[in-house]
Structure 1
């Protein structure tokens, strides 16, 4: 399956799962600092339809900061569109992306989208049901390709990473970090909540690389 096809299948699966969330769950805070789950969903929609011009204009309004522009766009869209409406928008955009969604590498988008799915699910204490092939594809990309939205490449350097529930490993030298694949994805994306679910002599080093600022930026 191509990266674009894997992204599409994963996004449609996410959309079906997300339709089961309640109003209160959408209003709850996500693991992405200062964003509600509703705002995370709005961010995913924005990523599939916003052009460079809109993003540039918003950055100018916020002193050149991508982070503040990103947050402002997500919050504005969440205020104007309910979660159900955003899910309808997302379902259409998955197959007909516009703007940056058409040109941004699908393997990086997959990592961004699954990281945000975990932001929602882990914050709600829900167990993810993401297929192993999608999680492995994310991990393969995270440790090999810098992603401007998810700082996993930097966080993984010099570590030996081992998934305990799927056939995936990375690195031949350095301290070891092991755990479920979804927990590795989340923590490598600078979400500290799942650190307690990882084991190995490299966990302390990985924890030292994670900061609240990184969590705000990842998205």
Structure 2
């Protein structure tokens, strides 16, 4: 049995969970809750960076980060499933990189609130990260990616994008939705086609909100 160290709210962990489900590998993976803030959590020994997700293989080898794990899961499923082979691979990798960057920018805004006392918060830094999110959403709204209508359409890029938008819903109250109707429709189609997206959703109640992640 493989072990996935993650947490329910992690968009990168969610990406791995959805990828595993799409690839038919969910029964092979045990998800183990992880607290990266605790020095007593073994994640710091399993991944020296102390970050999630991390995938522990049966021989004890640990894979990280999410892109490496997704690549491994695709390999385990036979290859060329959610990471195409040949020229088609690069648009998928580019979308994954764009979506991962949006998740990073969102997380950094959350961390600015979570770990820094209010009097020390750097508003220019938050605005810098927020502008990244806004630019990505602007670009995608102007030229939306192909909609995912079935699990056959799912790939590492659009899975990552769905998780990035889901993270904006979780941590920023979904304020992006008012400005980006094309992406709202895209995400609705993804959710309808990929049951694992809804299954991995975390209710926003109880999670602290930060400011709007747009410029």
- After TM superposition, the score normalised by the length of structure 1 is 0.33
- After TM superposition, the score normalised by the length of structure 2 is 0.34
